[in-house]
Amino acid sequence: MNSLNINSIFLISAIFRVGLILYGEWQDAHMEVRYTDVDYLVFSDASSLMASGHSPYKRTTYRYSPLLAFLLIPNSFLSASWGKFLFSTSDLLVGLFIRIILKQRKVPEDLCTYSVLLWLFNPFTFTIGTRGNCEPIVCAMILWIVICLMNGKVVQAACWYGLVVHFRIYPIIYALPIIFFLDPRFFQSGMKPLLCDWTSAHGKTPQINSEVTDQCDIWLAFKSIFTRSRILFGLVSGSVFLFCTGFFFYLYGWEFLHEALLYHLTRTDPRHNFSIYFYHIYLNYERELSVLEKLISFLPQFIVQLVLIFCFAKDLLFCFFVQTVAFVAFNKVITAQYFVWFFCLLPLILPWSNMKLKWQGLCCILLWIGAQSHWLMWGYLLEFKVFRRHAGSKRASKRD
């Protein structure tokens, strides 16, 4: 890595993303399968409505915070690709934040560089932003919250946390680990919170003295939950979330509340996705599922989240990672963009892993790619061949 410094890596990855965005414009115009994510068209339409003074929720299937439509208003007058450049810039910010976090945890330069490369040149991550998906913004906000917490900036972390939960509801799962993380013995004494530094033996060396570390116990943290830093974090993050939600409820009413928040509690999707519930939903879509049936699928998620939090909350970043993997795995709908939620956390825990790239790492990568390709092949055949052929035969029979 000596021949390629970190600035060159970021420059190459930025140029690469610009090239992909330009290529995407060509593919959209010349090929059957569009490069641009269908959600990006929804975002763009919603932002155009907002720019015209209308509700973004007049665009069917727009089920996000109005903040997203606001950020993409330049799509209407500057460039239709503005949002893709914005998301790709956030993508690069994630790489920068990964480096900052690892350097603060004393990870060697080479390992930091490899970890940044794992994000910047991961095919799953660089295509998400360049195709027009907003997840890189969420990932960047989450990592910035981690940086704020590592530096003891509770109020700033709380403000961003309230904002990101409003923007994309799933980071609510990180609330309890953060509360455990805000141990009063460190913040009251002006010390940085407990995180483990990297060592050459892949061991974990606490940033603070062993006497204090030995006293750290998750149940003790739970018992003393009502402390100044925890109450401050809860009040500030809650206030930011309620202010954003209340403000947009005032502007757009119940339509906003249903589409941006409540809809996700009972969402079902019969189209192909990676969820374990997909086939059940597909077979029963014509039969309207009751609200109880839709909500009960959250029970496995809830139980698994609690178990993981109480097992791993002492290691905040690893806890975030396993929580996110489990949350995605048990979700009712899983699309490729959801994998980015935990891909942004993977480079932060790999320096502590004993897994070698050869052969364990390569086998895991190949298995992942093979499973994805296998599933997507059947999804393509189903949606682009079977459905379209069926629709075409219906139109032909009507003409006859």
Stated as kind and residue range, the H or E segment containing 108 is none
pLDDT at 101 (0 to 100): 94
Entry pTM: 0.84
**Who contacts 383 (Cβ-Cβ below 8 Å, separation ≥6)?**
271, 272
Nearest to 20 by CA among 75, 74, 116, 84: 84
Each domain of the chain, given as residue ranges in start order, spans 6-196+222-353, 356-399
56: alpha, beta or left, given left = phi > 0 and alpha = psi -120 to 50? alpha
Q: What is the pLDDT of residues 169-224, one digit of tens each?
A: 999 999 999 998 887 655 544 445 556 665 655 544 444 333 444 444 556 655 66
* pLDDT of amino acid 220: 60
| Amino acid 355: pLDDT | 73
CA 71, 323, 335: angle at the middle one, nearest 5? 55
Within 8 A by CB and 6+ apart from 90, the residues are 129, 136, 137, 139, 140
Q: Give me the helix-helix angle, 82-104 and 38-51, nearest 10°.
A: 110
Token pair in block for residue 287: 């039969």
The confidence score (pLDDT) of residue 208 equals 39
242: tokens are 């309620």
Contacts of 286 (CB under 8 A, 6+ apart): none
Q: Which residues of 42-62 are buried (b: 16+ CB within 10 A; e: fewer)?
A: bbbbbbbbbbeeebbbebeeb
205: three-class secondary structure by DSSP: strand
Q: By the 8 A CB rule, do 115 and 347 touch?
A: yes
Q: Which residues of the chain have pLDDT under 50?
A: 2, 188-191, 203-216, 396
The answer to whether 169 and 161 are in contact (CB under 8 A) is no
The CA distance from 44 to 42, in Å, is: 5
Which pLDDT score is estimated for 48? 94
Q: 131, 36 in Cβ contact below 8 A?
A: yes
Q: Note the pLDDT of residue 251.
A: 92
What's the confidence (pLDDT) of residue 205? 44
Residues 6+ apart with CB under 8 A from 99: 6, 112, 115, 116
CA distances from 356 to 116, 304, 366 (A): 17, 28, 14
Cβ contact 62:56 at 8 Å: yes
Q: Report the distance separating Cα 303 and Cα 384, nearest Å.
A: 38
